Amino acid sequence: MSVDELVMNSATRKSAWKDAASSHDTVKKPRSNYLGLWIFLLGLFVIELVFYTWCRVQCTQLGYEMVKDDEIHQKLSALKNSMVVELARLKSPDRISEIARQQLKLEPPSRDQMVVLP
């Protein structure tokens, strides 16, 4: 091989390396454009994940509040039922007549005190 051929081969090799490097740069350049898109999509996914987690936490807290409110409702319903029973006991005619005889010293009316309306 002559010197000219060696110089030519080395120049050809350099240009081949240069072409490969430049083609490699052109491949990387579109990837850098997609990198921003991927970062945006990843950020959007993270935001969506945080929002979903927040929604689930709120749902769980509302469930706990509903259970607590249901327990309060059951206690109030039981209290209402006991009050209805106590009211019926207090309004009973036997109790009222007993209080009238003992505390107020009242007696049932005699026949001459009663007036019959036509």
Over residues 8-59, the pLDDT tens digits come to: 565 565 555 555 555 555 545 555 678 989 999 999 999 999 999 999 999 9
Please report which confidence band the pLDDT of residue 118 belongs to, taking 50, 70 and 90 as the band edges: confident
Q: Is the pLDDT of residue 103 over 70?
A: yes
Which pLDDT does position 16 carry in this prediction?
Answer: 54
Q: Which pLDDT band, with edges at 50, 70 and 90, does 109 fall under?
A: confident
| Tokens, residue 89 | 């006991």
| Cβ-Cβ contacts under 8 Å for 106 (sequence gap 6 or more) | 100
What's the confidence (pLDDT) of residue 41? 95
Amino acid 32 reads S
pLDDT of residue 34: 86
21 vs 94 pLDDT, higher one:
94
Alpha helices per DSSP H over the chain: 3-90, 93-102
| Cα atoms in the Cβ-side hemisphere of radius 13 Å centred on 15 | 5
The pLDDT of 69-79, averaged and rounded, is 98
